[in-house]
């Protein structure tokens, strides 16, 4: 479980193909407290398991399903990535409950400055739109955000300067794909209402 409050703008150091999966070596500049083998880390919002760690670098494995459903399959060495350690009991919850189970990806279709803030619009497969509501929560590349508008083809968010400077969202260009996790409460409500 995560909060969607990115702790570090990390860097993908290397990618190794392992059968149908990939092994990702990641650098976490300024990491406080060593990561342990088996620990969960959200990488662009995708929960992955640490399989090796030394200093501020660590390795994660991503299987075929993860590579298919997320943007991690197209990441390359040198790419910046959002990193967050899992939530500990007693931690403050400043974002919203994020499982790290990416549902799908969305594409950035436009961005415009609004003073120091930026408005970002994304296209999204219509299958996922019933789970989104204006002023509701969404995780975009692991960042907990509040939805501004939801349309029949996508959604929009507004980013403050801090979010733009400490996450990958400040680096996005139109056409870039981001990982999307809809609010888990919305998913449960949809399933309950479908039972009948």
Residue 110: CATH number of its domain: 2.40.30.20
Residue 196 has pLDDT above 70, yes or no: no
pLDDT tens-digit readout, 22-62: 999 999 999 988 899 999 999 999 999 999 999 999 999 99
User: Is residue 154 in a domain?
Assistant: yes
Position 97 in a domain: no
**158 lies in some domain:** yes
Does 2 reside within a domain? no
Q: What is the pLDDT of residue 182?
A: 95
Q: Are 43 and 109 contained in the same domain?
A: no
Q: How far is residue 72 from each of residues 18, 43, 148, measured CA to CA in Å?
A: 14, 8, 26
3 is a domain residue? no
List b or e across 18-35, with b for residues whose CB sees 16 or more CB atoms inside 10 angstroms: eeebbebbbbbeebeeeb
CA angle 8, 12, 16 (to 5 degrees): 145
Q: Residue 69 domain-assigned?
A: yes
pLDDT in tens, 163-191: 999 999 999 999 999 999 999 888 888 88
Q: Which domain holds residue 188?
A: 104-194
pLDDT per position as a tens digit, 66-121: 999 999 999 999 999 999 999 887 777 777 889 999 999 999 999 999 999 999 99
* Alpha-carbon gap, residue 148 to 136, rounded angstroms: 8
Same domain, yes or no: 79 and 114: no
Same domain, 60 and 125: no
Residue 92 belongs to a domain? no
Residue 65 has pLDDT above 80, yes or no: yes
């Amino acid at each position: 479980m995560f909060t969607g409050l990115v702790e570090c703008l990390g860097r993908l150091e290397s990618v190794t193909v392992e059968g149908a999966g990939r092994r990702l070596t990641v650098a976490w500049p300024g990491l406080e407290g060593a990561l342990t083998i088996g620990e969960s880390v959200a990488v662009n919002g995708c929960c992955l398991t640490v399989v090796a760690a030394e200093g501020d670098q660590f390795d994660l494995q991503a299987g075929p399903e993860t590579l298919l459903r997320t943007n991690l399959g197209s990441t390359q060495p040198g790419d910046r990535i959002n990193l967050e350690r899992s939530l500990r009991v007693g931690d403050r919850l400043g974002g919203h409950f994020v499982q790290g189970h990416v549902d799908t990806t969305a594409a950035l279709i436009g961005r415009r400055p609004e003073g120091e803030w930026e408005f970002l619009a994304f296209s999204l497969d219509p299958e996922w739109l019933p789970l989104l509501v204006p002023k509701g929560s969404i995780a975009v590349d692991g960042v907990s955000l509040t939805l501004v508008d939801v349309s029949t083809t996508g959604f929009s968010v507004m980013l403050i300067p801090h979010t733009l400077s400490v996450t990958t969202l400040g680096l996005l260009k139109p056409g870039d794909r981001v990982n999307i996790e809809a609010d888990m409460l919305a998913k449960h409500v949809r399933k309950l209402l479908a039972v009948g």
